[in-house]
Amino acid sequence: MRLLILLILACFIQPYLAVAQNPLFETIRVFDSKEDGYASTRDPALCLTKQGTLLAFCEARFDNPKDWASIDLLMRRSTDGGKTWNKAVIISRWMDESEPAENKPVGYILSLEGADSLIDLSYVERAYGYGLRAIGPGHYSTGRYAPGTGLSGPLTSLGRDLLREMDRLGMVLDITHLTDEGFDEALSLYNGPIWASHHNCRALVPHQRQLTDDQIRVLIERGAIIGGCFDAWMMRPGFTQRVSNPADFGITIATIVEHYDHICQLAGNALHCAIGSDLDGTYGREQSPTDLDTIADLQSLRGALSGRGYSEADITNIFHGNALRFLRAALP
């Protein structure tokens, strides 16, 4: 479910409904020295909590990397009636290794997995106003907009309308959990940016939930990123979800490299892989790699990739570079 770096860490719709009404959030002024002016917003896609957690991928709103240094996010202090402003630095802080990571704000891209909570199409633009930037029309079983994992069949008529509305707004389409027919139809209808937020390879683990080689090739042609999924049953064949033990199948963090490598071989480069996870904060070794207990353990993926011959540039791209590049191009 969430493109982890992700920065990608997709959330359900309730969090930004709460954000929009939460008194912890204050009006923020965004300063752009090119325009020599300020703009105010309470858009949760540009909000900063008083505790300092950034809920925006602010860099993605500016096309030229040279412009990012000229942009300051400013948050009003709650203690002085707004007479002064505290400076909050955007995601570029994460590139500065001189600052301890624990001092840096955490960013999120709001994404909806399974669109059924959007009661009708009028809610799409409303949710976009709350900060929603990506939608996956389907999840499991039947749905208002698309059948999901384990089923077959195309998008519903409402699902086709949903894609048109997303296209109009410039949102990211997440093809995760779509049927094969839904996948083909969605890519033929949708003109905007596409990602597969948490997917592995059907060639390695046969299941409709996984991507076929042909689907991977189409995603590569569309400039998509594919987030590797750490659900144990999706990593090695023969694993029974919520029954099998990952240790019995030798499933470790390094196992995901088999899927990454398959995608990279099809692409001819390492520009389309990312960390998808799908573990939603429920890290633990019961149904995930045996050496993946907390999110911090993902750092061992660096050694696994290096051991398979991936360069430092490739590893950086898989960890965050591909996701950042995609989001900078995709988001308004």
- The 10 Å CB-count burial string (b at 16+, else e) for 60-93 is bbbeeeeeeeebbbbbbeeeeeeeebeebbbbee
Between the alpha carbon of residue 227 and those of residues 105, 231, 258, 271, the distances in Å are: 23, 12, 13, 12
Give the chain's domains with CATH numbers. Answer: 13-103 (no CATH), 110-330 (3.20.20.140)
pLDDT at 294: 86
How many Cα neighbours within 13 Å face the side chain of 284? Answer: 6
pLDDT at 250: 96
pLDDT at 284: 74
pLDDT at 104: 76
pLDDT at 306: 98
Please name which of 162, 107, 15, 25 lies closest in space to residue 327, comparing C-alpha atoms: 107
Strands 85-88 vs 71-76: parallel, antiparallel or unpaired: antiparallel
Spatial distance between the Cα atoms of 94 and 72, rounded to a whole number of angstroms: 15
Spatial distance between the Cα atoms of 269 and 210, rounded to a whole number of angstroms: 21
112 C-beta neighbours (distance < 10 Å), count? 25
Q: Where are the beta strands (DSSP E) in 69-146?
A: 71-76, 85-88, 110-113, 132-136
Determine contact, residues 110/133, Cβ cutoff 8 Å: yes
pLDDT at 282: 60
- What angle, 0 to 180 degrees and rounded to 10, lies between the N-to-C axes of helices 256-267 and 213-221? 60
pLDDT by residue for the chain (332 residues), tens only, comes to: 333 333 333 332 223 323 333 333 333 333 333 333 333 333 333 333 333 333 333 323 333 333 333 333 333 323 333 333 233 345 567 777 888 888 877 777 899 999 999 999 999 999 999 889 999 999 999 999 999 999 999 999 999 999 999 999 999 999 999 999 999 999 999 999 999 999 999 999 999 999 999 999 999 999 999 999 999 999 999 999 889 999 999 999 999 999 999 999 999 999 999 999 888 766 677 889 999 988 899 999 999 999 999 999 999 999 999 999 999 899 86
pLDDT at 99: 84
Which residues 6+ apart lie within 8 Å of 120 measured at CB?
none
pLDDT at 19: 31
